[in-house]
């Protein structure tokens, strides 16, 4: 087992790196996902290699079967060298392509059928042969027939017909050219006759003849004579034709039947089928990976489910690998069960295991957990899987763990096993456990269903302790731990807020009793109060006055008040500040002396000033 993070349990806070800040989520988790992710495409192709390998194998088998069931018909091949009259070293194969096109005409096919004496239509016969230009002057004719002899005969007839047609066309071109030259010579001869007639007329005039005119006529007659001689020689050469074309165009490789290479044909057809099947499988897997959008990486699954990946398990072994890897798979599953048991023991509340695409794995994991929890008390496994995989597995392995149904009574501790696949009764999941561990197979569900599972569990108030990833990608290097706070998703014990206990109905009735108990407790714990005599005011000395008449004694129970406290209030005049004398000046502006200043005061105040 390879755990992605031991801190993924819900109650513990994730550790932060040395820098003090938690790492940020990947771009695809918190931001906008890319439109086309090549890494996801390559992972999907690698994980679904069975599909495209199967299509490639089917193509290989189909190609070999076609080679055996539909063997190649007998085939004959002939090679013809074709000489062109206008051939040149700079020709790019245009003349040979013309010859191949001429070979595929009804005229050549009809001529070959006449030589063979066949009643087959030229159109059907044209489907059984083909021409191929090997070089600028070599033509290969391939013919398919019902037998080797018929194929050889048809190839010979086609080659002879094509050669005869090619030579005939060359000779026809030469004859047409010779006839054109002869026509030009006849025109020149007619014109020469007219010039001779003009010369005779001019010479008959005698001395009256114009000398320049005669000279022009003589030069014209000489030119026409030379032209006629040239036309005659060219017409003779053109009449001969093109002997090099007729002699050079011939069959250089006589028609022969090709040997049947049975193994080579099978290998060729099988290779073509393998290539086509491989291409079809890769295209099918690529289109499915883009259209279905099924997350595989730990990072993507933890983000869509809102819970961290705490462990991972390989998928069910297939093929011969079950013989030598069975013990390793069992040990890895037991280690994962031990990890989950440590998480479950943190809180005695019942825990459920909910599978998504891995019913066999979750059944075995539930039995392993129940076996380890058996030491803490009676443990029961509540099997709520549609196929009762836990009950069947317990019977096959002879496990002593008690397996009950969803409606049966369970022991002290119970481990509920259910599913969150499409069609799940979401309201019944809370009866399997107050907390849950999701066992999800990588690439089984699409993004939309993962969101649905996370939303439904949050609505039911079932915290997700973590996710156990089944059949992970071996080359997945992403982290499945969520580093953001619990406010983003409901997961783990830390996300569950304990509900306040309901108030009892008789709380109001017992309020008076509670107040009395509190008062009694306070009375027992407080100290007695010490009383002090009141502070009386200081009594001034009593002035002797005539004794007033005696007052009657106070009545018993009353407090006597001293006489000085009942005396009338004496009023005094307010004290005014002394008036300051106004200084005066002498006539010369000098201030008066002290005696003069005090002269204007009252006697008492003057004495005080002096």
Query: Are residue 425 and residue 480 in the same domain, yes or no?
Result: yes
Per-residue confidence at 143, pLDDT binned at 50, 70, 90? Answer: very high
Per-residue confidence at 285, pLDDT binned at 50, 70, 90? Answer: confident
Query: Are residue 477 and residue 345 in the same domain, yes or no?
Result: yes
pLDDT at 36: 61
Query: Are residue 379 and residue 475 in the same domain, yes or no?
Result: yes
Q: How many CB atoms lie within 10 A of CB 322?
A: 11
Most confidently predicted of 125-129, 292-296, 357-361: 125-129
The partner residues of 458 in beta bridges, in order of sequence, read none
Give the β-pairing of 379-383 and 138-144. unpaired
What is the distance between the alpha carbons of residues 557 and 145, in angstroms, rounded to a whole number? 155
The partner residues of 438 in beta bridges, in order of sequence, read 354, 467
Most confidently predicted of 20-24, 121-125, 363-367, 378-382: 121-125
In a domain, 269, yes or no: no
What is the distance between the alpha carbons of residues 114 and 160, in angstroms, rounded to a whole number? 12
In a domain, 1, yes or no: no
What CATH number should be reported for the domain holding residue 97? 3.30.1890
Q: Structurally, how many domains does the chain consist of?
A: 3
Domain ranges, residue 610: 583-610
Average pLDDT estimate for 253-276: 89
Residue 173 predicted with pLDDT over 70 = yes
Radius of gyration of the chain (CA): 62
Residue 71 predicted with pLDDT over 90 = no
In a domain, 521, yes or no: no
Q: Mean pLDDT in the chain?
A: 75
Cβ neighbours of residue 120 closer than 8 Å, sequence gap 6 or more: 113
pLDDT at 138: 92
Q: Burial of 125 by CB count in 10 Å (0-12 exposed, 13-18 middle, 19+ buried)?
A: buried
The partner residues of 413 in beta bridges, in order of sequence, read 379
pLDDT at 207: 64
What is the distance between the alpha carbons of residues 157 and 436, in angstroms, rounded to a whole number? 85
In a domain, 13, yes or no: no
Alpha-carbon distance values, 222 to 143, 205, 214, 346, 487 (Å): 61, 22, 12, 129, 117
The partner residues of 468 in beta bridges, in order of sequence, read 311, 439
pLDDT at 351: 81
Residue 397 predicted with pLDDT over 80 = no
Q: Are 125 and 150 in contact (CB under 8 A)?
A: no
Closest CA to 160 of 252, 256, 251: 251
Query: Are residue 420 and residue 472 in the same domain, yes or no?
Result: yes
Residue with more model confidence, 266 or 33: 266
Token readout for 68 is: 């055996």
Residue 271 predicted with pLDDT over 90 = yes
Query: Are residue 343 and residue 404 in the same domain, yes or no?
Result: yes
Q: Are 202 and 214 in contact (CB under 8 A)?
A: yes
Q: Which of 204, 231, 257 finishes a domain?
A: 257
DSSP 485-550: -GGGS--SGGGPPPPPPPPPTTTTTTHHHHHHHHHHHHHHHSPPPP--PPPPPPPPPPPP-PPPPP
18: left (phi over 0), alpha (psi -120 to 50) or beta: alpha
Closest CA to 601 of 590, 610, 588, 592: 610
Query: Are residue 327 and residue 253 in the same domain, yes or no?
Result: no
Alpha-carbon distance values, 399 to 364, 371, 383, 519 (Å): 11, 9, 14, 63
In a domain, 280, yes or no: no
Residue with more model confidence, 261 or 23: 261
293: left (phi over 0), alpha (psi -120 to 50) or beta: left
Average pLDDT estimate for 478-507: 54
In a domain, 194, yes or no: yes
Residue with more model confidence, 598 or 230: 230
Closest CA to 579 of 555, 604, 545: 604
Element (H, E) at 468: strand 464-470
Give the 3-state secondary structure percentages of the chain, helix then strand then coil, rounded to 5: 50, 10, 40
In a domain, 575, yes or no: no
pLDDT at 101: 93
What CATH number should be reported for the domain holding residue 384? 3.40.50
Average pLDDT estimate for 83-93: 79
Average pLDDT estimate for 246-251: 86
What is the distance between the alpha carbons of residues 110 and 295, in angstroms, rounded to a whole number? 66
What is the distance between the alpha carbons of residues 197 and 365, in angstroms, rounded to a whole number? 126
In the chain, the largest separation of any two C-alpha atoms, in whole Å, equals 215
Query: Are residue 236 and residue 300 in the same domain, yes or no?
Result: no
Count of helix runs (H) and strand runs (E) in the chain: 19, 11
Q: What percent of the chain has a predicted confidence (pLDDT) above 70?
A: 69
Helix axes 106-116 and 148-203, enclosed angle (nearest 10): 120
Residue 571 predicted with pLDDT over 80 = no
Residue with more model confidence, 173 or 105: 105
In a domain, 338, yes or no: yes
Average pLDDT estimate for 186-205: 83
pLDDT at 590: 46
Residue with more model confidence, 23 or 128: 128
Average pLDDT estimate for 297-305: 86
Query: Are residue 88 and residue 217 in the same domain, yes or no?
Result: yes
Residue with more model confidence, 444 or 541: 444
Most confidently predicted of 17-31, 67-81, 378-392: 67-81
pLDDT tens digits, 502-537: 555 455 556 677 777 777 776 666 556 566 666 665
pLDDT at 76: 93
Q: Running DSSP on this structure, what letter comes out for residue 591? A: B
Average pLDDT estimate for 124-129: 92
pLDDT at 43: 79
Kindly give the residue spans of alpha helices, DSSP state H, lying in 345-436: 359-373, 389-397
Q: Which of 464, 492, 520 finishes a domain?
A: 492
What is the distance between the alpha carbons of residues 241 and 320, in angstroms, rounded to a whole number? 80
Residue 591 predicted with pLDDT over 90 = no
Most confidently predicted of 49-53, 348-352, 375-379, 555-559: 49-53
pLDDT at 323: 58
Q: Phi and psi for 110 in degrees, rounded to 5?
A: -65, -40
Residue with more model confidence, 322 or 446: 446
Query: Are residue 196 and residue 311 in the same domain, yes or no?
Result: no
Token readout for 45 is: 């192709």
Q: Which of 197, 229, 257 finishes a domain?
A: 257
Q: What percent of the chain has a predicted confidence (pLDDT) above 90?
A: 18
Query: Are residue 474 and residue 587 in the same domain, yes or no?
Result: no
Q: How many CB atoms lie within 10 A of CB 36?
A: 7
What is the Cβ-side half-sphere exposure of residue 377, based on CA atoms within 13 angstroms?
A: 9
Q: Running DSSP on this structure, what letter comes out for residue 127? A: T
Cβ neighbours of residue 307 closer than 8 Å, sequence gap 6 or more: 8, 438, 454, 464, 465, 466, 467, 482, 489, 491, 492
pLDDT at 22: 37
pTM exceeding 0.75: no
What is the distance between the alpha carbons of residues 408 and 393, in angstroms, rounded to a whole number? 19
Q: Taking CA 129 as the corner, what is the angle to CA 126 and CA 135, rounded to the nearest 5 degrees?
A: 120
Q: Are 17 and 23 in contact (CB under 8 A)?
A: yes
Query: Are residue 594 and residue 470 in the same domain, yes or no?
Result: no
pLDDT at 509: 55
Residue with more model confidence, 456 or 325: 456
Per-residue confidence at 152, pLDDT binned at 50, 70, 90? Answer: very high
Query: Are residue 381 and residue 237 in the same domain, yes or no?
Result: no
């Amino acid at each position: 087992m390879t755990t992605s993070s031991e801190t993924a349990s819900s109650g513990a806070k994730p550790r932060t790196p040395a820098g003090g800040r938690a790492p940020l989520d990947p771009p695809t988790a918190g931001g906008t996902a890319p439109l086309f992710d090549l890494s996801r495409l390559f992972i999907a192709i690698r994980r679904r290699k069975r599909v495209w390998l199967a299509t490639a194998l089917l193509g290989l088998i189909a190609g070999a079967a076609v080679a055996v069931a539909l063997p190649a018909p007998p085939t004959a091949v002939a090679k013809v060298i074709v000489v062109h009259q206008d051939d040149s070293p700079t020709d790019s194969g245009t003349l040979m392509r013309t010859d191949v096109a001429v070979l595929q005409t009804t005229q050549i096919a009809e001529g070959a059928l006449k030589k063979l004496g066949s009643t087959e239509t030229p159109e059907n016969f044209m489907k059984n042969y083909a021409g191929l230009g090997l070089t600028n002057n070599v033509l290969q004719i391939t013919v398919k027939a019902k037998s080797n002899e018929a194929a050889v005969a048809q190839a010979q007839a086609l080659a002879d017909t094509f050669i005869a047609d090619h030579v005939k066309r060359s000779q026809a071109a030469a004859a047409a050219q010779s006839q054109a030259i002869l026509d030009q010579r006849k025109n020149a001869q007619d014109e020469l006759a007219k010039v001779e007639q003009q010369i005779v007329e001019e010479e008959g005039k005698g001395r009256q003849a114009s000398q320049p005119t005669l000279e022009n006529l003589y030069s014209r007659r000489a030119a026409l004579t030379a032209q006629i001689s040239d036309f005659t020689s060219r017409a003779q050469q053109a009449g001969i034709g093109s002997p090099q074309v007729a002699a050079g165009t011939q069959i250089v490789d006589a028609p022969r039947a090709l040997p049947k290479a049975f193994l080579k044909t099978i290998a060729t057809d099988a290779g073509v089928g393998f290539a086509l099947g491989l291409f079809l499988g890769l295209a099918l897997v690529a289109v499915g990976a883009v259209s279905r959008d099924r997350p595989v990486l730990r990072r993507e699954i933890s983000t869509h489910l809102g819970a961290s990946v705490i462990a991972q398990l390989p998928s069910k072994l297939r093929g011969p690998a079950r013989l030598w890897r069975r013990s390793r798979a069992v040990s890895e599953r037991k280690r994962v069960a031990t990890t989950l048991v440590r998480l479950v023991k943190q809180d005695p509340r019942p825990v459920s295991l909910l599978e998504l695409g891995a019913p066999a794995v979750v059944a075995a994991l539930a039995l392993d957990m129940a076996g380890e929890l058996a030491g803490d008390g009676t443990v029961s496994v509540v099997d709520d899987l549609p196929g009762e995989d836990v009950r069947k597995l317990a019977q096959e392995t002879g496990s002593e763990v008690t397996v009950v149904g969803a409606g049966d009574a369970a022991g002290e501790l119970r481990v509920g096993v259910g599913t969150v696949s499409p069609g799940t009764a979401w309201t019944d999941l809370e009866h399997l456990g107050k907390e849950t561990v999701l066992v999800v197979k990588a690439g089984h569900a699409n993004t939309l269903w993962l969101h649905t599972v996370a939303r439904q569990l949050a609505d039911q108030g079932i915290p997700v302790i973590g996710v156990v990833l089944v059949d992970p990608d071996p080359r997945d290097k992403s982290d499945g731990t969520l580093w953001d706070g619990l406010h983003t998703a409901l997961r783990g014990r830390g996300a569950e807020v304990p509900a306040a206990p309901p108030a009892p109905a008789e709380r109001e009735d017992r309020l008076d009793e509670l107040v009395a108990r509190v008062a009694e407790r306070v009375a027992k714990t407080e100290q007695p109060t010490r009383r002090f005599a009141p502070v009386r005011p200081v009594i001034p000395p009593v002035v002797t006055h005539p004794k007033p008449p005696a007052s009657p004694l106070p009545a018993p129970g009353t407090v006597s008040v001293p006489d000085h406290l009942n005396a009338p209030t004496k009023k005094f005049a307010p004290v005014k500040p002394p008036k300051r004398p106004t200084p005066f000046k002498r006539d010369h502006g000098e201030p008066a002396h002290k005696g003069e200043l005090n002269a204007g005061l009252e006697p008492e105040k003057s004495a005080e000033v002096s």
